[in-house]
Amino acid sequence: MNSREQTDIVLVVDDSPETVRLVTDVLDEAGMTVMVALDGMAALKIAARLRPDIVLMDAVMPQMDGFETCRQLKLISGFDTVPVIFMTGLTEPEHSVRGFQAGGADYVTKPIVIEAMLARINVHLANARKIKSARLALDAADQFLVATNREGRNHWFTPRAYRLLEARFPRGEDETLRLPDDVLAWVSQQLETGRLAGEASAFVSAKDDLRSRIGFLGETEAGEILLRVSDAPLQPDLASVKVGFGLTRREAEVLSWIARGKSNRDIAAILSLSPRTVDKHVEIILTKLKVENRTAAAALVLGQNRA
CATH topology of domain 238-306: Arc Repressor Mutant, subunit A (1.10.10)
When pLDDT is cut at 50, 70 and 90, the band that residue 260 belongs to is confident
What strands, in cross-sheet order, belong to the sheet with 33-37? 33-37, 9-13, 54-58, 84-88, 106-109
pLDDT in tens, 231-247: 655 444 677 788 888 89
When pLDDT is cut at 50, 70 and 90, the band that residue 229 belongs to is confident
Where exactly does CATH 1.10.10.10 map onto the chain?
Answer: 238-306
Q: Which CATH number fits domain 9-138: 3.40.720.10, 3.40.50.2300, 3.40.1080.10, 3.40.50.300?
A: 3.40.50.2300
When pLDDT is cut at 50, 70 and 90, the band that residue 189 belongs to is confident
* Pairwise CA distance, residues 6 & 16, whole Å: 29
pLDDT in tens, 149-165: 777 677 777 777 777 77
Question: Class for domain 142-233, per CATH?
Answer: alpha beta
Transcribe 220-236 into DSSP letters: -TTSPEEEEEEEEE--T
Q: Do β-strands 33-37 and 54-58 pair in parallel, antiparallel, or remain unpaired?
A: unpaired
Q: Give the number of other Cβ atoms within 10 Å of residue 154's Cβ.
A: 21
| Cα-Cα end-to-end distance for the chain | 72
